[in-house]
Amino acid sequence: MNKAVRSAVIAGNWKMNKTPAETTALINEMKPLVADADCKVVLCVPFIDIPAAVEAAKGSNIEIGAENVHFKESGAYTGEVSAQMLIESGVKYVVVGHSERRQYFGETDQTVNLRTLAAVNAGLTAIVCVGETLEQRELGYTETLLKFQTKMALTNISADQLKNIIIAYEPVWAIGTGVTATADQANQGNGYVREAIAEVYGKAVAETVTVQYGGSMNAKNADELVAMEHVDGGLIGGASLKAPDFAAIVKAASK
Ligand code: 13P
């Protein structure tokens, strides 16, 4: 991390876990454990849990995010949720283009870009996910793919709007597998993302953008990962469902 030029952000991505009642209990357990964090602390939760999460996090340093957002303001899009709906519910962040959405729900680089634009234009901070599959890595396309996904996601985003963008490098082969990228692999992937931003917006701007690592990050490996120059925090799946584990990661990023 380089806290002198950019924010460190630890964000949980709860995926499809926790009911509203469980949300209240988990956030109440987390609050005292992360109260003295020297990084931003975010929990991205299922839509149905947002009211409970916002209520439980009130008065604390935990900010609430959603896990997806639709790109239209309103209309006949059954089952979808707009950026304005999220804003009015007290949401500040939203995960966009997670690999699970790309894999299971037909998310493309174009829809990731549209969702990113909708989120940022409404005043949300978008946590945009990019990452290669194992096959793409083994074929030697990691750099090409990460740069392509990053640039596609940021199409029509102004340099000024980058203040409200976080990119999360999540190698697909490291998500939920227990296989973490090594600190060097994470730093290299995050570095490719930063280079892609620099190629479009210039190096000075790219240095200010928070780039997280995600993929089996946990209480044990967090220290080593966040010590890397380009790893400005993490997007945490499984370990964000356990208060002590999540708090340990927050602590690692607070050093
Ligand atoms: P895990 O931490 O469970 O591997 O999930 C990472 C992730 O997908 C966060 O968005």
Task: Choose, from 67, 70, 98, 132, the residue flagged as catalytic.
Answer: 98
Spatial contact of 186 and 213, defined as CB atoms under 8 Å apart:
yes
pLDDT > 90? residue 68: yes
Q: Kindly give the distance from the C-alpha atom of residue 216 to the centroid of ligand 1, in angstroms, as a whole number.
A: 6
Measured in Å, residue 214 CA sits from the centre of ligand 1 at 6
- Residue 98 Cα to ligand 1 midpoint, Å, equals 10
- Residue of 13, 68, 212 to mutate, ligand 1, most atoms within 8 A of C-beta: 13
* pLDDT attached to residue 122: 97
DSSP class of residue 124? P
* Phi, psi for residue 8 in degrees, rounded to 5: -95, 130
Q: What is the largest CA-CA distance in the chain?
A: 48
pLDDT at residue number 1 = 87
CA of 213 to the centre of ligand 1 (A): 10
Strand 233-236 relative to strand 93-96, pairing: unpaired
Among the residue ranges 2-11, 47-56, 57-66, 163-172, the one predicted with the least confidence is 2-11
Q: What is the pTM of this model?
A: 0.97
Q: Which residue type is seen at 229?
A: E
| Distance (Å, whole) CA 72 – CA 232 | 31
pLDDT class of 177 with cuts at 50, 70, 90: confident
Tokens of 199: 């190629």
Dihedral, CA atoms, 222, 227, 231, 232, nearest 10 degrees? 90
Say yes or no to pLDDT of 41 above 90: yes
pLDDT digits over 84-115, tens only? 999 999 999 999 999 999 999 999 999 999 99
Question: What tokens appear for 163 in the block?
Answer: 């203040």
Tens of pLDDT along 188-241? 999 999 999 999 999 999 999 999 999 999 999 999 999 999 999 999 999 999
Q: What domains are defined for the chain?
A: 9-253 (3.20.20.70)
The 3-state DSSP class for residue 30 equals helix
Q: Catalytic: 98?
A: yes
Atom of ligand 1 nearest to the CA of 129: 10
| C-alpha distances in Å from residue 175, one per residue of 90, 180, 214, 250 | 28, 8, 7, 19
Which pLDDT band, with edges at 50, 70 and 90, does 157 fall under?
very high
Determine the distance separating the centroid of ligand 1 and the alpha carbon of 75, expressed in angstroms.
32
Indicate if the alpha-carbon torsion angle 201, 203, 204, 206 is positive or negative.
positive
**pLDDT given at position 3:** 87
Quick one: pLDDT at residue 176?
A: 83
- Write the pLDDT tens digit of every residue in 127-151: 999 999 999 999 999 999 999 999 9
Q: What is the mean pLDDT of the chain?
A: 97
Token pair, residue 254, equals: 């607070």
Ligand 1 pocket test target in 93, 217, 236 with most atoms within 8 Å of CB = 236
Question: What crossing angle do the helices spanning 142-153 and 109-122 adopt, rounded to 10°?
Answer: 40
Pocket of ligand 1, beta carbon within 6 A: 13, 98, 170, 175-176, 214-217, 235-239
Q: Residues with Cβ < 8 Å from 111, sequence gap 6 or more?
A: 71, 97
Active-site annotation holds for 135: no
Give residue 4's pLDDT: 85
Residue 178 has what pLDDT? 79
